[in-house]
Structure 1
Amino acid sequence: MTWKQCTVFVADDDKSVLESLALLLESAGYQSRGFGSAEELLASGSVQNACCLILDIKLPGMSGLQLLQVLAASHTPIPVVFITGHDCPGIEAQALGLGAVAYLRKPFDEQMLLDAIHPYCVN
């Protein structure tokens, strides 16, 4: 399998998480763009160029779940991997029910994250 030019968009309000994920993704051969909020990601105007999204559930303003709902309503089918440090009962089922491809609790195994995005970032 060959890698395609793949940009993974990451939305997390913790700058250290954004930085560490950027390093992880780069080391695995992916390009990434980080955003501090769902609104910032949407305002970029380029969400449709992402091969997948890594979203924190709890973001300032619009939550990761709300962003997934907005994307679904606008018929923008992009695979979403949720990450969270604030797990609440029922949220995982809700996220997967909305179409998320994975739901990982922080701290998560880096290889699990890479395995979750890999199918969407290869030819």
Structure 2
Amino acid sequence: MSEAVVHVVDDDESARESLAFLLEAADFEVVSHASALALLDALPLDGAGCVITDMRMPDMTGLELVRELGARGCRVPIIMITGHGDIPLAVEAMRAGVADFIEKPFGESRILDALNRALEAGPPPLAQNGAATAASDEAALVRQRLETLSERERQVLDGVVDGQPNKVIARELGISPRTVEIYRAKLMAKMHADNLAALVRMTLSIRRG
């Protein structure tokens, strides 16, 4: 069994139990929480691990939980599970420091890949040297890919990373939401982004730099 403890936070009991079962079958130790407040009551979290939380929950949302964990100095990677309509909030969560966000419905490989990647990365690195060099190389690669985007693709990308829904991007650019989707698919291919979270993550890394 992995030494990492995965804390699953979801007010939906069936969704919470289903995800816990999937993770346990993949040999992870899982602790389930029925609310964000229940997770906070369990602080400090034992063992190295990760938090997987739903976005929409009563009393405290996933985004509010991310901010509260940060305020309490809990440096643990967080994965956000979100519905399609929550993408702007998910982008905001990434700005707040989440490792990844996953749109519903998601497959087993998507959540396990995200979890393994978050555990491997761990908390934001404090070290310099090799880590800084790797980050610099990745940033250079992302900038090269950005150069391949057309002006319209850059405009759509800016809207996506600002957390705007397709219909808002479409209205501001004077095109249809369907056309926005086409541009988004094209720019994701050019950026070599397997999913929306990866696209947002690499773009934010450049903006922060």
Structure 2 match to 1:49: 47
Shift of 1:50: 5.2
Query: 2: CA distance between counterparts of 1:80 and 1:27?
Result: 20
Structure 1 match to 2:172: none
The aligned amino acid for 2:76 is: I
* Structure 1 residues 29 and 4: alpha-carbon distance in aligned structure 2, compared to 1, 3 A threshold: closer
Structure 2 match to 1:67: 65
Structure 2 match to 1:10: 8
Contact 1:58 1:86 in 2 (8 A): no
- TM-score, normalising length: structure 1: 0.87
Q: Which has the larger radius of gyration?
A: 2
* Structure 1 residues 50 and 14: alpha-carbon distance in aligned structure 2, compared to 1, 3 A threshold: farther
Query: 1: CA distance between counterparts of 2:87 and 2:48?
Result: 29
Identity of aligned residues (%): 36
Q: Write 1 or 2 for the structure with the bigger share of helix.
A: 2
How many pairs align?
120
The aligned amino acid for 2:64 is: Q
Q: For 1:54-83, what per-residue CA distance to the aligned partner results, in whole angstroms no more than 9, with x for missing partners?
A: 000111101111111011112211111100
Gaps of 5+ in 1: none
Query: Which of the numbers 117, 120, 134 marks the counterpart of 1:119?
Result: 117
Query: 2: CA distance between counterparts of 1:25 and 1:89?
Result: 24
Moved over 3 A (4+): 119-122
The aligned amino acid for 2:51 is: L
> What RMSD in Å do the two structures reach over aligned CA positions?
1.8
The aligned amino acid for 1:5 is: E
Contact 1:10 1:35 in 2 (8 A): yes
Gaps of 5+ in 2: 121-209
Query: 2: CA distance between counterparts of 1:38 and 1:86?
Result: 21
SS at match of 2:86: coil
Query: 2: CA distance between counterparts of 1:89 and 1:4?
Result: 31
Structure 1 match to 2:105: 107
* Structure 1 residues 71 and 102: alpha-carbon distance in aligned structure 2, compared to 1, 3 A threshold: same
Query: 2: CA distance between counterparts of 1:78 and 1:87?
Result: 26
Query: 2: CA distance between counterparts of 1:27 and 1:19?
Result: 12
Q: Write 1 or 2 for the structure with the bigger share of strand.
A: 1
After alignment, is 45-54 or 109-118 more displaced? Answer: 45-54
Structure 1 match to 2:76: 78
Shift of 1:24: 0.6
